[in-house]
Structure 1
């Protein structure tokens, strides 16, 4: 199992430099490291002085690097899908569409990057995967994609199945399911949708597992950079991503990030080992549920009560903070109960039932 690390912060604060220094340090210790770039331009390749493409290239002993290009990835994943279609479907309907023809729609970059990271993590060939993306809300939306997609799949599947439109279309959908998707009933189709939900749930749990995915903030003393880092910290909690510490350049008030540990960086560090006190395992969990106390506790640093909105729909609660939404599925013991109150305490949102 690989640990995936990423660095978040305002553009120009040194995220790529920090990512490279971290990758080099752990490779020097004998760890198998993959440095993954997904940015505009070839800055990572220039800084590594190595030509990069979508296939990992060796930079030094134990260190491989790759630069993800969405047009190349979509061709490869499209060919995989066509192969599965030919294998499992009686009447393939994508066979005349080629990956080279497809343009990149908004959001595809994130989906392709996440799929590529998932595949590399599943292979188990690396001890550490360092993702050097945009480092801002784009990266958070990518890591939060399993959470968001699982909500869409679950809610829209349920809504369509009970709607008049869904019932009216059922006689026409059944033959399509049988002939095209090779399933005998809508129950089978729903089962497949349920399996997709399970896959997304696994991805969601992986992001929330500090032993598998974690982030560090990077900032300078510039007040705007500090403000962006704080905002990204709070937003990361909304997708369940563990933020384990702050790397800073220059002098700034470290108490603004309390209780996160803060380490000072050189302008261009050659190598960077994450200090023990900045281990992701020591970070505050993004949320916890105490069934006995009928309490849900969410860690929302940098946000105040005025910036948070709660919506309860059956067994789910939607927490809106900033421009992020987190859909929390309540356990059976609390699913039938209505929230009776909420308050902020020590950067935590407490929801009572």
Structure 2
């Protein structure tokens, strides 16, 4: 079973790329489901066929699905939230606290994850390909297992009176006669979900980007946080690339030259990940024939469902009050290391190699004190946080 999630900034072509990968996988004989988790669905438009909230046959070996998150939330939440609020207020809980206690954070993300997990475990498909929401929402979605686990742990510490009040809420979420008695099992299931999403043999995360400065910046942030939470990234698709010798007036020539600059930067920024390139088409791509052709253009003779990269692109380790950032750079020759830090950006030069990094927020106000390059790995040390005012 393979689970492949495409994510990136809105408008970079995630939906088309996910659909093209699915069409190519189905063409190779895999039973393939392509799923959209974005509230503003456009997967049906890319496939040029109507889709439902359940897997819908599209072609041989290919199914499509647009998860109706809002309906699922209403079904599991709806009047229950209001009922629980009134119940809590009658027991003396003030109005603001009642509203807070009646809401489980990230309900939409939980619903999406449960859908994806259900499809992945059912065994009906060889590969599930996810057209994810824009980057920020997707990273939030992927952090939900930790949030739900923390919230469930807090529920275990409630006193028995509060437990009696919250039972109707939890019964709506979990198929159990006494949910609070089975909360440890629920936490174990959340851990299993995270294990699936972080298993590099099962799940792969692929960034979709275009040769533009702002898009590359957001993709860097996504790669940083995916690495921070242990989600395995195995490649990136550079979309809408003009040929370097584009003909036409000066505008197209200048645009192609600018794209080439960002194209080279993308290959440097995301090394050692493989970068696939998709051409800039002169017309809208829609329908299976166009999608199959695009899938072949991106992956060539490669099987798009295989794992293309194993290992970490960066690792953050805490040591006392300090942090150590490890960056595998296996193809870089050792030379003098030059380093410059500006806020949450770190610029590293090793000989002729230059790498620009977006740092997690925990490192933004810390000083980069030392950089060492050994055995193909760059280690950057960050000192303790500055003293508070």
Task: Determine if the TM-score, normalized by the shorter chain, exceeds 0.5.
Answer: yes
Distance 1:225 1:218, change over 3 A: same
Q: Distance in 1 between matches of 2:362 and 2:57?
A: 37
Q: Which secondary structure does the structure 2 equivalent of 1:248 belong to? A: strand
Offset from partner CA, 1:107-137 (integer Å, 9 cap, x none) = 3322211111111111111111111121402
What is the root-mean-square deviation in Å for CA atoms of aligned residues? 4.4
Q: Do 1:7 and 1:135's aligned partners in 2 also have CA atoms closer than 8 Å? A: no
TM-score, length basis structure 1: 0.65
Q: Do 2:237 and 2:277's aligned partners in 1 also have CA atoms closer than 8 Å? A: yes
Question: How many equivalent pairs are there?
Answer: 283
Q: Which secondary structure does the structure 2 equivalent of 1:31 belong to? A: coil
- Structure 2 residue 205 is matched with structure 1 residue 215: yes
Q: 1:261 matched to which residue of 2?
A: 274
TM-score, length basis structure 2: 0.60
Q: Distance in 2 between matches of 1:244 and 1:238?
A: 15
Per-residue deviation, 1:239:
2.3
Distance 1:117 1:42, change over 3 A: closer
Match of 1:241 among 203, 220, 231: 231
Q: Distance in 2 between matches of 1:276 and 1:180?
A: 45
Offset from partner CA, 1:259-317 (integer Å, 9 cap, x none) = 2222221235532475479825524276599xxxxxx986679x979649xxxxxxxxx
Q: 2:190 matched to which residue of 1?
A: 200
Structure 2 unmatched runs, 5+? 81-102, 172-177, 242-259, 282-292, 318-322, 329-339, 346-358, 364-368, 383-389
Offset from partner CA, 1:41-68 (integer Å, 9 cap, x none) = 4422122111112021111100000111
Offset from partner CA, 1:122-176 (integer Å, 9 cap, x none) = 111111111112140211221221123223433x357xx4xxxx6xx45x46887
Offset from partner CA, 1:221-244 (integer Å, 9 cap, x none) = 111111111111111112221111
- Structure 2 residue 381 is matched with structure 1 residue 322: no
Offset from partner CA, 1:165-202 (integer Å, 9 cap, x none) = x6xx45x46887999999xxxxx987622212111111
Q: Distance in 2 between matches of 1:285 and 1:195?
A: 33
Q: 2:124 matched to which residue of 1?
A: 125
Matches within 5 A, 1:94-133: 107-133=106-132
- Structure 2 residue 312 is matched with structure 1 residue 284: yes
Q: Distance in 2 between matches of 1:241 and 1:227?
A: 19
Structure 1 unmatched runs, 5+? 82-103, 183-187, 290-295, 309-320, 326-341
Distance 1:267 1:6, change over 3 A: farther
Q: Do 2:4 and 2:129's aligned partners in 1 also have CA atoms closer than 8 Å? A: yes
